[in-house]
Amino acid sequence: MKAVRSLFACCIISCLGVSSALCQQRPPATPLITHDPYFSVWSTSTNLTDSEATHWTGSPQPINGVARIDGKPYRFMGRLPGRRPDPVPAMQQTASSITPTHTRYEFTQDGITLALTFFTPAIMNNIDLLSRPVTYLTWSAKATDGAPHKVSILLEVDPVISVNERGQQVVTFRNHTSRLNVLSAGSRDQNILNRSGDNLRIDWGYFHLAVPKDEDATTVIAPHPAADFVATGKLADSDSIDMPQPAGRLCPHLAVVFDLGVVSAAPVKRHLLLAYTEGYAIQFFQRNLRPYWQRNDMPVEELLDLSENQYSALDAQGIAFDKDLTDDLIKVGGEHYAALSILAYRQSLAAHKIAADLNGDALMFPKENTSNGCIATVDVIYPSAPLFLFLQPKLLEAQLLPVLEYSALGRWRFPFSPHDLGQYPLANGQVYGGGEKSEENQMPVEESGNMLILVDALARAEGNARLAERFWPQLTSWAQYLKDKGLDPENQLSTDDFAGHLAHNANLSIKAIEGLAAYANLAHLLKHEDIATEYSSAAKSMAEKWVSMGIEGDHYKLAFNSPNTWSQKYNLVWDQILGYNLFPKSVRETELAYYMTKINKYGLPLDVRADYTKLDWSVWTATLASDPKQFNALIDPVYQWTNETPDRVPLSDWYDTKTGKHITFEARSVVGGVYIKALSDPKLTAKWNKWSGALGEALSAGHGE
């Protein structure tokens, strides 16, 4: 069976020009609907029928699919509630594939081949389109045995998708637009932006199942639509009217049945839209902000009709984007690197929410998933930044701007950068460590270096330093702090202190030194030449000292005062990409040669203290290699891990390099950091930056048309 699945997968993917590595990949979890930290639905099994769909947190959000072929029912998605084993047999899944904007499955049964596609138009040259909370589901059925077959398809959605937990009261209702029949579900109470935290689902706004009026479909809101369809091939004659009801298993589900009629060799297609709309998305210093797509008060019905009108054009655009990006990822890093990058693409974007400031500007807020749920965490923005610097720098600016605005407020009284803006979705001030009250468990060198490097990288991508000019006092304060404290950092937190606090951190020192070089370059861009000379000289002097402080025979130490230690020096990557040229090439070569002796089955450990590693930093370290053999030696085990990890969760960035088990982190935005290798290629970066800038503004002006 495994050989058959791989063969069919290659057949499906080859039309898109996707690599053979993707044909063979078994992702830890598969993205189905991925928009933001709340509207994020995944399959955690190889076969779509082996488990029910879940939110990224693991909380069930069942979406079930049944096909009737000549009167016989078969499941193609999910597991129906009730007895085990499931009384409805599963169709044979013969293929699956993931591209940047599409997830595809293929099934065969009784002479019929059924293709199911989830398409999320996460195309980053159009921020307006990217912010739309709409995913398309498409079916294509054809006969493969030369005989005609009567086929119908059911999809049902459990209304728990619209609340945090099953005990909450939900209401369901139906509407219609000019193009669509719409079934909706949402919480009775609609407590907008009512709480913050990590392991939470949204419980305000409404989920919508929207069916084109010309698709020959019937719909219902009823307790057992799948059971009715299995038994009779039909749905109930009437909707359930009693509401509200708790979102338990007996609560009315939203369901649609497509009658495909008699299917022969010519494919018969149907599609629908799944959406989630909420009137307000983020609270930013007590101001409730709308989702970006709704910044001009676009009604939900207009959003849905616009999305339906553009379905075919967007799908074609998505297919072209998938192929072009995949080809370039293979070109710059090989098939295994491309496979990692594609897995990271939608996940990284879906860990953010794009909101509209009061003036309509885009503000993008990452959520620190599988941690304490912080919002706009600087050491989350930093590792994910390569994705945005490569494909859409304006979205990095949209992430940095809220942090910079907060830093400029009188309430932030420290000479270093903040760590976060609060706890998602409430960005009302730092909650981590000492918050706004003390320096306890702050990350001064870490976050100040992060911000300076990213503001400089953004200035280069955008061709101007306007953001730096606007917040020059804050950047100056952070640069001065790094100049005083950065060479040999005190005992303070850094992003890698999973094994505890660490003083004299050599990799953290690299970040501080590069942060000074970033500030010097920004000063140069703003024609503050005296400042540029001063800080450039300071960075060069500190880099020279670092080399003598960190060397230990054939490698460099984890901490300056810790003999017989080592660590990944992934922060060195900016010295190459941004052209600071502070550290001798021999530093990278020495470290890489040493790393080759420390690689475990599933990758290079983060440092000497444990066998775990970080996915994002491993790719940054690999990008230091000028020798493709060294790059592949570091990337190939990571690719192997994605295929063999026993933990079926959205792509983790923290896992054990010997066992393959993930430690904690899941579904985080930081996996966007794997795009650092693509970013390191100047020609490719220039190509995609041009694509994002020229097309993005034009398309946004016309709502993506």
pLDDT digits (tens, 9 = 90+) for 546-595: 999 999 999 999 999 999 999 999 999 999 999 999 999 999 999 999 99
Q: E-strand spans in 194-296?
A: 206-212, 217-222, 245-246, 253-263, 268-277, 282-284, 287-291
Q: Does the pLDDT value for residue 293 go beyond 80? A: yes
pLDDT digits (tens, 9 = 90+) for 682-693: 999 999 999 998
- Give the pLDDT band of residue 86 (cuts 50, 70, 90): confident
* Confidence (pLDDT) at 693: 80
- Give the pLDDT band of residue 23 (cuts 50, 70, 90): low
Q: Does the pLDDT value for residue 97 go beyond 60? A: yes
* Confidence (pLDDT) at 492: 80
Cα dihedral across residues 228, 229, 234, 236: positive or negative: positive
* Confidence (pLDDT) at 21: 61
Q: Does the pLDDT value for residue 81 go beyond 80? A: no
Name, in order, each residue with C-beta under 8 angstroms of 651's C-beta and a sequence gap of 6 or more.
27, 28, 29, 343, 344, 347, 615, 642, 666, 667, 671
Averaged confidence pLDDT in the chain: 93
> How many angstroms separate the CA atoms of 322 and 316, rounded?
10
Q: Does the pLDDT value for residue 705 go beyond 70? A: no
Greater pLDDT, 698 or 368: 368
Range 422-446 average pLDDT: 95
Query: What's phi and psi for 555, nearest 5 deg?
Result: -165, 180
* Partners of 140 in beta bridges: 115, 269
Weakest-pLDDT range from 75-89, 257-271, 330-344, 404-418: 75-89
Give buried/exposed letters for 585-600 (b at 16+ CB in 10 A, else e): eebbebbbeebeeebb
Q: Does the pLDDT value for residue 319 go beyond 60? A: yes
CA distances from 362 to 365, 567, 639 (A): 10, 38, 34
* Confidence (pLDDT) at 494: 80
* Partners of 277 in beta bridges: 206
Q: Does the pLDDT value for residue 12 go beyond 50? A: no
Range 440-457 average pLDDT: 96
> How many angstroms separate the CA atoms of 132 and 130, rounded?
6
Nearest alpha carbon to residue 244 among 186, 301, 295, 291:
186
pLDDT digits (tens, 9 = 90+) for 612-669: 999 999 999 999 999 999 999 999 999 999 999 999 999 999 999 999 999 999 999 9
Give the tokens for residue 578.
């941004």
- Give the pLDDT band of residue 305 (cuts 50, 70, 90): very high
Q: Does the pLDDT value for residue 501 go beyond 80? A: no
pLDDT digits (tens, 9 = 90+) for 251-289: 999 999 999 999 999 999 999 999 999 999 999 999 999
> How many angstroms separate the CA atoms of 152 and 137, rounded?
15
> How many angstroms separate the CA atoms of 433 and 507, rounded?
22
Sheet holding 287-291, edge to edge: 362-366, 352-356, 287-291, 282-284, 426-427, 422-423, 374-375
Q: For strand 654-656 and strand 612-614, is the pairing parallel, antiparallel, or unpaired?
A: antiparallel
* Confidence (pLDDT) at 115: 98
> How many angstroms separate the CA atoms of 499 and 51, rounded?
35
Q: Does the pLDDT value for residue 505 go beyond 70? A: yes
Flag whether the pTM goes above 0.75. Answer: yes
Q: Does the pLDDT value for residue 1 go beyond 70? A: no
Q: In the chain, what is the straight-line distance between the N-terminal and C-terminal CA atoms, in Å?
A: 44
Cα atoms in the Cβ-side hemisphere of radius 13 Å centred on 569: 32
Range 118-136 average pLDDT: 97
Q: Does the pLDDT value for residue 3 go beyond 70? A: no
* Confidence (pLDDT) at 496: 81
Cα atoms in the Cβ-side hemisphere of radius 13 Å centred on 565: 20
Range 18-43 average pLDDT: 87
pLDDT digits (tens, 9 = 90+) for 525-534: 999 999 999 9
